[in-house]
């Protein structure tokens, strides 16, 4: 079904037609690219290559080397094929964005579509992940001690409403994300990523100077994530600082239409500053909440690429793709930089008592959780064990709470609860979002019942549940979180520092605060790693927010979708300007 036809259908009719078609291939509307042959039944070997995790920051005397003045030349497509223009890519998506404010929204339900509308100053190279390259800033300079960045902006860039993009937009965007209270908004991700920023200033219409409080090894890498995107100052001011219902970017696609619970449609930006891009005429994100229905739609070819995050493919579905669709579909397994966390509101009983939090740390059976979740992950703690900084499974298996045999842990947890005055048991209402990581809610309920903690599940949709987390109007919560990059700064700054932007349960420890300040200023990697290791061990000791395991994700796309590659984690390479459809 072509885009023009979609506009003539109501949301309800389109939803019924699409979902019915996903279960009945014969009734399918024609996809935007030629329909491939029926999936082959031959088995494919499990791929062994996984995208490389970001390397540790350099230890050179200059903390941040001078960047290139322009982006590297495009990487040739596989097999030497040249990109062709045209076509609309149908993308599976798991839920509607709660709103359109990219500073406020941290979920990929918002960022996966909106990253195609907005640009950042810099970004990670779409193939060579970990390499920071220009985007709206065509070049930048760093002073000798690494505390002042001067960004030279591209000229001639316009917002989708035709207004010019200037340094005033950059200053307003960065300041709004770094100091959300001042702008009467929230910025859970940006506030953490920009924690080192002191101020941003417009030198002239095409030059911005950003001054840091201290030299930071993570600042530029944080700026390159898909969370730090530029927003139009004039649109924000016209809407009283609120862009929850307005979309106006500089990116490769313009926002065409959003039918809730049906689809998000975008069309090619003919005035995009990166001439020749995007290749495709448009993107359509189909909102399909049910995991099985979404997979059926992918198998039938109605969507040509699966969704992202924990709702992409289960390990079982990935095995189906390997064995039944190897000749027509590409499958990637990649570290997600994401995990599920048990949050406790430490302003409330029983969580004020460290012994109760330690009891939960001991009681949770991570091996069982991993199995219940389908087996796609690695047991870890506060930081990603698959990357540079996290405690490894070999480190953790020696610690109480992580041992495969839970006999000692269960007994110790019961004693801690009794010592805290909860010998007859404790109760909690656990906020649990519907779908995704929320599917493990019953597993947590069963595990905590073994030590005498009665869990009542409070199931909520993503939007209302996230509001309650931000407002701290919950007792406990089981919540999936992803990190923008493999670096301690955004994780600690958001979750574990006393005033952290995602410190939903009011965790506070003066020693952790001091260690955070120390490690973020430490450019020597070996010294920083030692501080970071000690921080993770102290968080476990204090019964801080408790991590189950870090995910491995699977994403698949039909082979006519070319030059797509998952990024490192979930907030890298969401932009599809260089993706094209072979014909």
DSSP string, 270-330: TT-SSTT---SSEEEEEE--SHHHHHHHHHTTSSSB---GGGS--HHHHHHHHHHSTTTEE
Give the pLDDT of residue 565: 87
123 or 1, which is more confident: 123
Per-chain mean pLDDT for the chain: 85
**Which of 75-79, 195-199, 258-262, 476-480 is least confident?**
75-79
Calpha distance 40→37 (Å, rounded): 8
Predicted TM-score (pTM) of the model is 0.75
Nearest of 465, 438, 463, 106 to residue 291 by alpha carbon = 438
Q: Which two tokens stand for residue 177?
A: 């994300």
Calpha distance 72→82 (Å, rounded): 17
Give the pLDDT of residue 33: 35
193 or 64, which is more confident: 193
Cβ neighbourhood burial of 80 (10 Å; 0-12, 13-18, 19+): exposed
Give the pLDDT of residue 482: 84
Calpha distance 288→311 (Å, rounded): 10
Confidence of residue 439 (pLDDT cuts 50, 70, 90): confident
**Which of 285-289, 415-419, 460-464, 539-543 is least confident?**
460-464
Percent of the chain with pLDDT over 70: 85
- Which tens digit of pLDDT belongs to each residue from 473-489? 999 999 888 888 889 99
Confidence of residue 108 (pLDDT cuts 50, 70, 90): confident
Cα 154 to Cα 71, 207, 234, distances in angstroms: 12, 9, 19
- 242-265 mean pLDDT: 97
Q: What are phi and psi of 497, to 5 degrees?
A: -80, 145
Looking at 450-524, list the stretches that DSSP marks H as alpha helix, in order from N- to C-terminal side.
462-471, 488-491, 510-520
- Which tens digit of pLDDT belongs to each residue from 49-62? 222 233 333 332 23
Confidence of residue 566 (pLDDT cuts 50, 70, 90): confident
Calpha distance 150→141 (Å, rounded): 5
Contact 113, 97 (CB under 8 A): yes
Give the pLDDT of residue 375: 65
Give the pLDDT of residue 39: 32
Give the pLDDT of residue 62: 31
Give the pLDDT of residue 80: 62
pLDDT at 67 over 80: no
């Amino acid at each position: 079904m072509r885009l023009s036809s979609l506009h003539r259908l109501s949301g309800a009719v389109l939803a019924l037609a699409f979902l019915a078609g996903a279960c009945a291939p014969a009734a399918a509307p024609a996809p935007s690219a030629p329909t491939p042959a029926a999936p082959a039944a031959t088995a494919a070997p499990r791929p062994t290559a996984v995208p490389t995790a970001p390397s540790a920051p350099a230890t050179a005397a200059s903390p941040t080397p001078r960047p290139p003045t322009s982006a590297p030349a495009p990487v040739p497509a596989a097999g030497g094929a040249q990109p062709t223009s045209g076509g609309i890519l149908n993308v599976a998506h798991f839920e509607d964005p709660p709103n359109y404010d990219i500073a406020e929204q941290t979920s990929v339900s918002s960022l996966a579509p909106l990253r195609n509308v907005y640009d950042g100053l810099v970004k990670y190279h779409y193939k060579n992940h970990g390499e920071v390259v220009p985007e709206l800033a065509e070049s930048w300079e760093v002073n000798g001690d690494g505390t002042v960045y001067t960004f030279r902006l591209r000229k001639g860039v316009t917002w989708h409403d035709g207004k010019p993009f200037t340094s005033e937009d950059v200053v307003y965007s960065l300041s709004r994300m770094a100091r959300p209270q001042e702008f009467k908004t929230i910025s859970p991700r940006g506030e953490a990523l920009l924690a080192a920023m002191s101020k941003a200033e417009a030198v002239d219409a095409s030059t911005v100077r950003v001054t840091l409080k201290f030299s930071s090894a993570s600042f530029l890498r944080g700026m390159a994530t898909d969370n730090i995107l530029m927003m139009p100052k004039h649109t924000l001011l016209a809407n009283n600082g609120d862009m929850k219902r307005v979309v106006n970017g500089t990116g490769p696609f313009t926002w065409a239409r959003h039918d809730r619970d049906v689809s998000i449609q975008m069309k090619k930006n003919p005035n995009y500053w990166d001439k020749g891009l995007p290749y495709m005429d448009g993107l359509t994100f189909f909102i399909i909440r049910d995991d099985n229905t979404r997979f059926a739609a992918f198998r039938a070819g109605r969507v040509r690429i699966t969704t992202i995050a924990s709702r992409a493919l289960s390990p079982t579905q990935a095995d189906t793709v390997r064995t039944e669709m190897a000749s027509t579909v590409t499958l990637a397994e990649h570290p997600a930089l994401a995990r599920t966390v048990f949050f406790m509101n430490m302003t409330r009983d029983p969580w004020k008592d460290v012994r109760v939090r330690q009891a939960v740390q001991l009681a949770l059976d991570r091996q069982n959780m991993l199995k219940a979740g389908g087996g796609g992950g690695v047991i870890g703690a506060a930081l990603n064990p698959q990357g540079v900084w996290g405690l490894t499974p070999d480190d953790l298996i020696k610690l109480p709470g992580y041992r495969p045999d839970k006999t000692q842990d269960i007994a110790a947890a019961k004693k801690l609860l009794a010592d805290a005055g909860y010998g007859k048991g404790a109760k909690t209402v656990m906020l649990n979002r519907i779908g995704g990581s929320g599917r493990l809610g019953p597993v947590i309920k069963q595990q905590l019942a073994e030590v005498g903690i009665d869990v009542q599940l409070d199931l909520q949709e993503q939007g209302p549940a996230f509001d309650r987390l931000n407002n701290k109007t919950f007792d406990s919560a089981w919540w999936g979180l992803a990190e923008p990059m493999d670096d301690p700064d955004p994780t600690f700054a958001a979750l574990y520092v006393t005033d952290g932007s995602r410190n939903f349960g009011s965790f506070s420890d003066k020693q952790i605060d001091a260690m955070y300040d120390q490690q973020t200023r430490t450019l020597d990697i070996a010294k920083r790693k030692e501080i970071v290791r000690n921080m993770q061990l102290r968080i476990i000791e204090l019964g801080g927010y408790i991590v189950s395991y870090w995910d491995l994700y699977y994403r698949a796309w039909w082979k006519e979708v070319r030059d797509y590659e998952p990024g490192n984690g979930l907030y890298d390479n969401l932009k599809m300007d260089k993706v094209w459809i072979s014909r």
